Amino acid sequence: MRDNQRSSALMSGPMDDTQLLRYSRHILLAEFGVDAQQRFAESHALIVGIGGLGNPVAQFLAAAGVGTLTLVDADRVALTNLQRQILFDTAAVGKAKVDAAGTRLAAVNPEVRVVTVPTRVALGELSLLAAAADVIIDCSDNFATRHAVNRACVAAKKPLVSGAAIRFDGQIAVFDSRDPANPCYHCLFGEGDEFEETRCATMGVFAPLVGIVGATQAAEALKLLAPAGRSLAGRLLLLDALAMEWREVRVIKDPACPVCGPRVRS
C-alpha cells in the first residue's frame, strides 16, 4: 500500500479562498453548500477496480475534492484499455493502473490524498479497507470480487455503490446496509446462480457506456457523502445504450440471504 501524502489531509480546517473557488460550483448548489463540501474533504472513498468504471469514478471524486481515495487494482495498463479508460494515455501502457491513475488524479487535484493498493485483495483485507472508508464503489469486473466487496460492506455497515458495463448494457445500484431493511448485492445476485461470466475481453464494451455508468456511480457516491437527495438503495438501474433506454427495477431484501439476513451473526 502506498500513500501520496505522509502528512495529514490538507483540508482538515476551514476552506481557504482558493478552495472556495475550486469547489464553488458545488458549494453553489443549495443541496450541498459549504457543509457538504467540507464533508467531501473529510471523506474516504474506496474504489475497487480502476478500469473503465473506476477511471471516471476516481476522476469525478478527485475533482470534487473527496479527501482520501483508496484505489485497488492489480492490473497494468494495456493498449486495449485506452479505448475507454480515460485516465490513461499511451505512455502509461505497462504501468500499474493504480500508479498511472494516481499520477493523473494528483494533477487533477493535488489536495486529494491517494492511497494505492496494487495487489489482489482477499476478503480479510477488503473488510479492513471497507471499514476505513465512508463509501465503497465497486468497479470490478467479476462476480467473485463483487460478492467479496459486498460481504465486506455488509460486515462494516458501509454503503456500496455497484456498477457493471458490458457490450451496450449497463447496471447501477446502491446497497446501503446502514439500514438493515435494505437489500445487499447477494439478495439480488445469488452466488449459486450459474451466471455466465461475461468480460470485456471477450464480449466487447461500448466506450461511452463505462463513462455513463461510472459517472452515475460517482453521482451516487457524492450524494451519499453529502448527504443529499434519494440514493439508489433498493433500486437497480438498467441501461440499454443501443436503444438509449433506462429501466428501474425494485430490489427486495431476501430474508434468507446468507450475507445480510437475520440469521447472520455480526
Phi, psi of 228 (to 5 degrees): -155, 150
The nearest distance, CB 155 to Zn ion, in angstroms, is 12
What is d(CA 71, CA 76) in angstroms, rounded to the nearest whole number? 13
For residues 201 to 240, the per-residue mask of contacts with Zn ion, x marking binding by CB under 5 A and - elsewhere, is ----------------------------------------
The nearest distance, CB 127 to Zn ion, in angstroms, is 16
DSSP states along 244-259: TEEEEEE----TT-TT
Say whether residue 26 binds Zn ion (CB under 5 A). no
Helix H or strand E segment including 107 = helix 97-108
Say whether residue 149 binds Zn ion (CB under 5 A). no
Say whether residue 66 binds Zn ion (CB under 5 A). no
The three three-digit cell numbers of residue 12, written as one number? 482538515
Q: Tell me which DSSP letter residue 92 carries.
A: G
Q: For residues 33 and 190, which CB has a smaller minimum distance to Zn ion in the complex?
A: 190
Say whether residue 156 binds Zn ion (CB under 5 A). no
The three three-digit cell numbers of residue 115, written as one number? 492511497
Say whether residue 101 binds Zn ion (CB under 5 A). no
What is d(CA 7, CA 117) in angstroms, rounded to the nearest whole number? 19
Give the chain's end-to-end CA distance (angstroms, integer). 28
> Contact region for Zn ion (CB under 5 A) — 28-36, 85-93, 137-145, 252-260?
252-260
Task: Answer positive or negative: Cα dihedral of 60, 63, 67, 73.
Answer: positive
User: How many residues sit in the footprint of Zn ion (CB under 5 A)?
Assistant: 6
> CB of 15 within 8 A of CB of 38?
yes
What is d(CA 179, CA 154) in angstroms, rounded to the nearest whole number? 10
Say whether residue 151 binds Zn ion (CB under 5 A). no
Q: For residues 96 and 260, which CB has a smaller minimum distance to Zn ion in the complex?
A: 260
The nearest distance, CB 84 to Zn ion, in angstroms, is 31
The nearest distance, CB 257 to Zn ion, in angstroms, is 3
The residues that bridge with 205 in the sheet, in sequence order, are 167
The nearest distance, CB 123 to Zn ion, in angstroms, is 16
The three three-digit cell numbers of residue 59, written as one number? 476522476
Say whether residue 146 binds Zn ion (CB under 5 A). no
For Zn ion, which residue of 47, 98, 237, 260 counts as binding (CB under 5 A)?
260
Q: Which of residues 160-189 bind Zn ion (CB under 5 A)?
A: 184, 186-187
Phi, psi of 96 (to 5 degrees): -60, 135
Report the 10 Å Cβ neighbour count for 2. Answer: 13
The nearest distance, CB 44 to Zn ion, in angstroms, is 24
Say whether residue 251 binds Zn ion (CB under 5 A). no
Q: For residues 152 and 187, which CB has a smaller minimum distance to Zn ion in the complex?
A: 187
Residue closest to Zn ion when measured from CB atoms:
257
Contacts with Zn ion, residue ranges (CB under 5 A): 184, 186-187, 257, 259-260
